[in-house]
């Protein structure tokens, strides 16, 4: 049997391929046949390059339906998709391309100059462009390829995608996900969230992360459900489209921004059946306000790049948990049906109900390891095969999982991950800097944002604005600390380690009233 993920998605397209699969915010309608033919032509083009099995296709392009087709084409050709955040700048792209050694790089035409230089230096032979107005050399080349049906034979454990997730120390690690990892997760969510072919999803997230690329797109395609495709999140446009939709997915910031709109009313949401939140903690306040303004209860779920989705609040009564159907604020719900989840203490020992420890998981969705990092991979797994997520939590007496913190030093800002070690590394290289600490503090819009606390070398004079400007010239915009403080010393424990908890406490009311 062919375990290629595209084959499973395709099998659920509606019988009538002429109906609308995707409607865009600039008035275009793509039929299921368009998705099928467009991705076939791109797949046939990729196959014409005669690439070795497992070759990577790295993609840094603006959101478009053609970019979605390129993802499907990569699956169909049996190649490995490597999506990259559009905010990444040259040093970041240089690392990913150097590490993954993609055979194909697809970028926006405005970036072709610098991206192609990096790619050719890393040995990539094929650098193509794709823009969000249906132009670019990829489409020119694919237009000459056959639209004949093609789906490569894949095994469930063949790689389908590599997602880079930043390392807490050192550089980013590429999480390798297989066709089987992603299909099992999509099938589980299909039934757990009660998808039907009549659903209409508002797709407002970027398509270079698990949430927008896998949870949202697989959800719709595996159910033959239509998507309303927004090129970027715009709260007014979401509300305008809401009456035509049934499902919405967002990081908490999207819900916060929607709550700021006067047009958010029960009437606007009358056809909606499901609001999903995840990628970062959803505040109870947002959960409650949403209920008040719309009459709907947000369903919060939890996942990771390494595992896709792990837990979910119930969509309807869950027979495994005494038929509980309550979606509870500040919990991430129950482990998904095929996910084993435990909370462990020292030595990977499972803890009792309500005891706080490291969250570990096992299941068909758990990744194949980190790209070319066998030792790092081995370190992250317990002896009995459970993956250590780096999240800290507990399971309560009713079975709900709570995330109470992270053992990894990570800031999640507006759904994007920022690793303090990376930013501190850049600041510490700057002239006159003795040391720095990046901490996450509460923020009303992004949930959490980075704040840099910096110490100067003796007799050196540092300027906070200059530090931020210098970071801005080398790092993706969402990683730039929102504030920078130059101070005389950092709090330390008796071992000499910087006590970030004290700094977080000191700066916690910077954007939020305590």
The least CB distance from residue 381 to ligand AMP, in Å, is 15
The least CB distance from residue 90 to ligand MCA, in Å, is 17
Rank residues 150 and 201 by Cβ distance to ligand MCA and give the closer one: 201
Query: Cα-flanking dihedrals φ and ψ of residue 65, to 5°?
Result: -65, -35
Residues 6+ apart with CB under 8 A from 352: none
Rank residues 61 and 138 by Cβ distance to ligand MCA and give the closer one: 61
Among 305, 311, 312, 331, binds ligand MCA (CB under 6 A): 305
Residue 330 backbone zone (phi > 0: left; psi -120 to 50: alpha; other: beta): left
Q: Is 30 in the site for ligand MCA (CB under 6 A)?
A: no
What residue 331 binds from ligand MCA, ligand AMP, none (CB within 5 to 8 A, per partner kind)? none
Other C-beta atoms lying within 10 Å of the C-beta of residue 355: 12
What whole-number distance in Å separates Cα of residue 505 and Cα of residue 88?
A: 31
Q: Is 380 in the site for ligand AMP (CB under 6 A)?
A: no
Please report where in the chains the tokens 């072919």 appear, as a residue.
197
Rank residues 78 and 450 by Cβ distance to ligand AMP and give the closer one: 450
Among 389, 448, 462, 484, binds ligand AMP (CB under 6 A): 389
Could you tell me the maximum CA-CA distance found in the chain, to the nearest angstrom? Answer: 74
Range in contact with ligand AMP (rule: CB under 6 A) among 198-206, 276-284, 349-357, 469-477:
276-284
| Contact assessment for residue 246 and residue 271, using Cβ atoms and an 8 Å cutoff | yes
Please report where in the chains the tokens 């489409």 appear, as a residue.
139
The least CB distance from residue 282 to ligand AMP, in Å, is 6
Q: Is 410 in the site for ligand MCA (CB under 6 A)?
A: no
- What character string, x for contact with ligand AMP (CB under 6 A) and - otherwise, covers 398-437? -----x--x-----x----x--------------------
Among 446, 451, 481, 486, binds ligand MCA (CB under 6 A): 446
- What character string, x for contact with ligand AMP (CB under 6 A) and - otherwise, covers 299-328? -x-xxxx-----------------------
> Side-chain half-sphere of 242: how many Cα atoms within 13 Å?
23
Q: Token pair for residue 157? A: 């454990």
Other C-beta atoms lying within 10 Å of the C-beta of residue 319: 9
Q: Is 165 in the site for ligand AMP (CB under 6 A)?
A: yes
Please report where in the chains the tokens 């997730």 appear, as a residue.
165
Helix, strand, coil tally for the chain in percent (to 5): 30, 25, 45
Residues 6+ apart with CB under 8 A from 161: 80, 81, 82, 83, 176, 177, 182
What whole-number distance in Å separates Cα of residue 404 and Cα of residue 392?
A: 6
| Strand spans (E) along 222-332 | 226-229, 247-250, 274-277, 299-304, 308-312
Q: Is 172 in the site for ligand MCA (CB under 6 A)?
A: no
Among 10, 63, 173, 211, binds ligand MCA (CB under 6 A): 211
Q: Is 128 in the site for ligand MCA (CB under 6 A)?
A: no
Other C-beta atoms lying within 10 Å of the C-beta of residue 501: 11
What residue 3 binds from ligand MCA, ligand AMP, none (CB within 5 to 8 A, per partner kind)? none
Rank residues 51 and 238 by Cβ distance to ligand MCA and give the closer one: 238
Q: Which residues bind ligand AMP (CB under 6 A)?
A: 165, 210, 278-281, 300, 302-305, 332, 389, 391, 403, 406, 412, 417
């Amino acid at each position: 049997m062919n375990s290629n993920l595209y084959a499973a998605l395709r099998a659920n397209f509606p019988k009538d391929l002429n109906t609308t699969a995707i409607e865009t915010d600039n008035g275009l309608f793509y039929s299921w046949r368009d998705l099928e033919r467009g991705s076939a032509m791109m797949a046939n083009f990729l196959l014409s390059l005669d690439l070795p099995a497992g070759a990577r296709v790295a993609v840094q392009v603006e959101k478009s339906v053609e970019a979605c087709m390129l993802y499907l084409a990569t699956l169909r050709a049996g190649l490995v998709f490597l999506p990259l955040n559009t905010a990444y700048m040259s040093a970041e792209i240089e690392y990913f391309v150097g590490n993954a050694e993609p055979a194909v790089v697809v970028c926006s035409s405005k970036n072709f100059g610098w991206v192609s230089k990096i790619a050719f230096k890393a040995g990539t032979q094929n650098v193509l462009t794709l823009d969000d107005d249906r132009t670019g050399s990829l489409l020119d080349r694919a237009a000459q390829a056959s639209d004949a049906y093609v789906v490569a034979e894949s095994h469930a454990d063949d790689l389908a995608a590599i997602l880079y997730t930043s390392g807490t120390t050192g550089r980013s690690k590429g999480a390798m996900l297989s066709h089987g990892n992603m299909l099992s997760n999509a099938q589980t969510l299909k039934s757990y969230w009660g998808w039907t072919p009549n659903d209409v999803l508002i797709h407002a997230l970027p398509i270079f992360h698990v949430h927008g690329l896998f949870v949202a797109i697989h959800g719709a395609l595996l159910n033959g459900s239509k998507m309303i495709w927004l090129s970027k999140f715009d709260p007014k446009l979401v509300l305008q489209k809401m009456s035509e939709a049934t499902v919405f997915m967002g990081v908490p910031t999207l819900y916060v921004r929607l709550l700021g709109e006067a047009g958010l009313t029960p009437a606007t949401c009358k056809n909606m059946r499901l609001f999903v939140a995840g990628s970062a903690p959803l505040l109870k306040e947002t959960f409650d306000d949403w209920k008040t303004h719309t009459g709907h209860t947000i369903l919060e779920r939890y996942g990771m790049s390494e595992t896709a989705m792990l837990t979910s609040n119930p969509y309807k009564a869950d027979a495994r948990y005494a038929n509980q159907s309550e979606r509870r604020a500040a919990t991430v719900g129950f482990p998904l049906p095929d996910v084993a989840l435990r909370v462990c203490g020292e030595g990977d020992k499972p803890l009792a109900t309500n005891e706080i420890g490291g969250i570990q998981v096992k299941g068909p969705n758990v990744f194949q390891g980190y790209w070319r990092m066998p030792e790092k991979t081995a370190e992250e797994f317990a002896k009995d095969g459970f993956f250590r997520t780096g999240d800290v939590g507990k399971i309560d007496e009713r079975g709900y999982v709570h995330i109470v913190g992270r053992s990894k030093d990570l800031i999640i800002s507006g759904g994007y991950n920022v690793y303090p070690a990376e930013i501190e590394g850049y600041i510490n290289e700057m002239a006159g800097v003795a040391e720095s600490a990046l901490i996450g503090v509460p923020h009303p819009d992004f949930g959490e944002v980075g704040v840099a606390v910096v110490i100067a070398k003796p007799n050196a004079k540092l300027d906070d604005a200059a530090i931020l400007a210098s970071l801005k010239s080398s790092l993706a915009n969402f990683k730039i600390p929102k504030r920078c403080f130059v101070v005389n010393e950092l709090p330390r424990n008796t071992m000499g380690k910087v006590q970030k908890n004290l700094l977080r406490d000191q700066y916690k009311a910077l954007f939020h009233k305590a």
